[in-house]
Structure 1
Amino acid sequence: MAGNANSGRPALPATVHMLRGDPSKKGMAALQAAAQSPAVPVKAPPKPDHLSPEASAEWDRVVEALLALGWISELDGMALATYCEAVGDWHRFRRKIAELNEQLDGSGDVQTFQSGAKQISVWRQMAENAEQRANRAGALFGFSPVARRAMKALAPQGELFPNAERDAADKYFS
């Protein structure tokens, strides 16, 4: 059997080939062009009109940064709306829990039944579910340190710390 499209090792990104000294023999110019050109045009999707106020605020907050990094296209509308709605839900549920904690002396997180049995309140369960949804959808856009590790930014991000040795070497060897 010859295999199918899922056979073998997955292809490595062009940036990995460049770091390894071009073992693929594709040529550094071709690898640099592949690393710099996005697969789809970078453009913000239109904001859905059904977003809650909290989700709409989150949309406005993250779209600008995603555009600057080149990590968003018009194709990402549903994934971004899913993330924003989950964040909006989480904010609403956490506010409700805080409100219940003030009113009921700390019982917004724990629900007590007439029998005396206790369990995590429904509001807390919904907040945890919204947090999981937000983390899962946010990972698609690099909203966690682990997810960002796999992402590549199109725009150069600059140096975080000065490097005198590198600058001296660049001065004499470039």
Structure 2
Amino acid sequence: MRGRKPKPTALKIVQGNPGRRPLNGREPKPPAAMPTCPSHLSPTAKTEWKRLARVLNQIGLLTQIDRTVLAGYCQSYGRWVEAEKKLQETPTLLKTPAGYIQTSPWLTISNKQMELMVKYMAELGLTPSSRTRLAVNIPSEEELERKKIEDTYFS
């Protein structure tokens, strides 16, 4: 397929449908339940998961089937943090045994992980520009409290 990726119906509803194209009424609707954090994530990635998952779920941008996308972002984040820490300990340019100058492999890893993170962030609405395309209903404190009670008693 060529061209832009089709926009999910949920995003069309949230963002509005300026083109007035028909909405796909048969598009699958994943359960809104909170996905669990994958156990294989690094400690830094798990911390990032905890920071983002609940908020994204509460505003309706994270469902059970989006677990892999968020896990991918979090793992890229964890690797980026690790590479940045290593870059602080080592020089950016290294001299090879043959006498050539090359960039640090940690710089390459850091740049690649940042590139991946930006792609994931756009998918999840985590960048300022991607958020401008969203209009979500943020639940009130009362709604959040009611949801906590429901989750406690009906889970």
Q: Fold match, TM over 0.5?
A: yes
Give the match's secondary structure for 2:16.
Answer: helix
Tell me how far apart the structure 2 counterparts of residues 69 and 94 of structure 1 sit (CA, whole Å).
Answer: 31
Aligned partner of 1:66 among 56, 70, 76: 56
Residues 70-114 of structure 1, C-alpha deviations (whole Å, 9 max, x = no match): 1110011111110000000001111111122xxxxxx2x112224
Coordinate RMSD, CA, aligned = 3.3
Q: Cα gap change, 1:41/1:155 in structure 2, threshold over 3 Å: closer, same or farther? A: farther
Q: TM-score, normalised by structure 1?
A: 0.62
- Superposition pairs for residues 1-174 of structure 1, below 5 Å? 13-14=12-13, 16-17=16-17, 39-100=29-90, 107=91, 109-155=92-138
Give percent identity, aligned residues only.
Answer: 25
Larger Rg: 1
TM-score by length of 2: 0.69
| Whole-angstrom distance in 2 between the partners of 1:43 and 1:154 | 17
Structure with the greater relative contact order (CA < 8 A, sep ≥ 6): 1 or 2? 2
Q: Which consecutive unaligned segments of at least 5 residues does structure 2 have?
A: 141-155
Unaligned residue ranges in structure 1 (runs of 5+): 1-5, 27-33, 101-106, 158-174
- Listed one character per residue, the Cα deviations across residues 121-164 of structure 1 (whole Å, up to 9, x for unaligned) are 1111011111111111121111111221233313269xxxxxxx
How many residues align? The count is 130
